[in-house]
């Protein structure tokens, strides 16, 4: 093939293709390439990709592209340079079929400038591990902040980003009970791969069988009670109605627990959260407008709603969206919009 102008290299804004919350390579992962701002897993959205040989010739190959144990693209086991003729979206999946990353438009710059700008952004990202607190790291960040170590927060801890437009890339967890509050994130900021986890392991019930049949007997539901962050939800007053008699059967430590690890985005405009996950997790947009929750990566919910847009004073929430993804468990709604 000599009649194409393949001037766009298929590459990642990071040095290798890595897992969403660690620096481990996405071994045996897959990459899909498609039109900008589309789902490239859908064949209808995919665009041609080519191997560029040393002599400059090109050979079109099928998708998905394969990632080796070192986080590099390979074809038939050999390292290859993959190119396209246009800007594109990119979706990266691990060996188990879980989405690791999605980039709506890898070319926000001219093709010749892309690798330079991408390397610059990665090189100058502030790392949380280099600062004593999250606020210190946020204050030092210019355009990017890398969460590379677990961060233990206290309820109500507030981080002021000073109106800066940042990409916050999360490779580790935020751990704590209550709310971690992000304020003054600039319009266009993006938080990717955030993982919220409660410190406390709650008592949960699981009122259905392994073959997904609902339990109806209160005693049978109480028999499922155990401490877990991954397999059930904290009982609420709604369960007292659904399972008459359960309130008297539940021990005191299983009532009114209110255990949730919540990332609160407060009074921001145009902030996006991508691929959020967690255990006993919550994501609260309070007083926000034109914000998006995109492709939630199956967070397990705590006592409150998993994804909440709350506008109880002032203007109703405008332009807020939940797009794609999935959630699991949770004691209240998976996604809810609350307004006065």
pLDDT digits 0-9 by tens, 92-140 = 998 888 888 888 887 653 444 444 444 444 444 689 999 999 999 999 9
Alpha carbon 13 to chain centroid, angstroms: 17
Residues 208 and 95: their CA atoms lie apart, in Å, by 29
Residues 92 and 197: their CA atoms lie apart, in Å, by 24
Radius of gyration, alpha carbons of the chain: 22
Residue 14 has pLDDT above 80, yes or no: no
Residue 26 is predicted with a pLDDT of 83
Residue 37 is predicted with a pLDDT of 85
Q: Where are the domains of the chain?
A: 8-117, 124-199+259-339, 203-254
Residue 118 is predicted with a pLDDT of 41
Residue 1 has pLDDT above 60, yes or no: no
User: Which tens digits make up the pLDDT trace of 27-63?
Assistant: 899 999 999 888 999 999 999 999 988 787 889 999 9
Residue 322 has pLDDT above 60, yes or no: yes
Phi/psi of residue 45, each to 5°?
-95, -10
User: Which tens digits make up the pLDDT trace of 248-284?
Assistant: 999 999 998 999 999 999 999 999 999 999 999 999 9
User: Which tens digits make up the pLDDT trace of 184-227?
Assistant: 999 999 999 999 999 999 999 999 888 888 899 999 999 999 99
- Whether the CA torsion 142, 147, 152, 153 is positive or negative: it is positive
User: Which tens digits make up the pLDDT trace of 154-173?
Assistant: 999 999 999 999 999 999 99
* pTM listed for this prediction: 0.65
Compute CA distances 177 → 70, 126, 152, 181, 190, whole Å: 36, 26, 9, 12, 24
Compute CA distances 217 → 5, 45, 224, 246, whole Å: 67, 48, 11, 9
* E-only strand ranges, 189-301: 190-192, 195-197, 203-204, 226-227, 261-266, 272-274, 277-286, 292-301
CATH number of 8-117: 2.170.14.10
Residue 339 is predicted with a pLDDT of 86
209 or 181, higher pLDDT: 181
């Amino acid at each position: 093939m000599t009649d194409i102008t393949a001037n766009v290299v298929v590459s990642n804004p990071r040095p290798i293709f890595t897992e969403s919350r660690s620096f481990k390579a996405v071994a045996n992962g897959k990459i899909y390439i498609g039109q900008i701002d589309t789902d490239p897993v859908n064949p209808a959205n995919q665009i041609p990709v080519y191997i560029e040989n040393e002599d400059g010739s090109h050979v079109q190959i099928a998708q998905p592209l394969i990632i080796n144990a070192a986080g590099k693209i390979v074809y038939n086991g050999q390292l290859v340079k993959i190119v396209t003729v246009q800007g594109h979206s990119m979706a990266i999946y691990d060996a188990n079929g879980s989405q690791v990353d999605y980039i709506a438009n890898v070319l926000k710059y001219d093709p010749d400038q892309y690798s330079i700008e991408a390397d610059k952004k990665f090189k100058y990202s502030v790392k949380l591990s280099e600062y004593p607190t999250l606020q210190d790291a946020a204050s030092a960040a210019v355009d990017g902040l890398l969460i590379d170590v677990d961060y233990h927060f206290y309820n109500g801890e507030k981080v002021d980003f000073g109106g800066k437009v940042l990409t916050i890339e999360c490779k580790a967890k935020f751990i704590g009970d209550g709310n971690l509050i992000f304020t003054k994130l600039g319009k266009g900021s993006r938080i990717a791969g955030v993982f919220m986890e409660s410190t406390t392991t709650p008592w949960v019930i699981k009122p259905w069988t392994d073959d997904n049949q609902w339990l109806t007997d209160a005693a049978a539901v109480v028999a499922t009670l155990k401490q877990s962050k991954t397999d059930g939800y904290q009982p609420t007053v709604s369960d007292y109605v659904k399972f008459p008699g359960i309130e008297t059967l539940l021990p005191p430590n299983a009532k009114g627990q209110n255990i949730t690890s919540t990332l609160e985005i407060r009074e921001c405009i145009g902030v996006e959260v991508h691929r959020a996950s967690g255990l006993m997790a919550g994501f609260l947009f309070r007083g926000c407008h034109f914000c998006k929750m995109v492709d939630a990566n199956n967070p397990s919910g705590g006592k409150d709603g998993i994804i909440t847009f709350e506008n109880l004073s002032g203007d109703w929430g405008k332009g807020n969206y939940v797009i794609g993804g999935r959630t699991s468990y949770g004691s209240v709604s998976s996604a809810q919009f609350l307004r006065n």
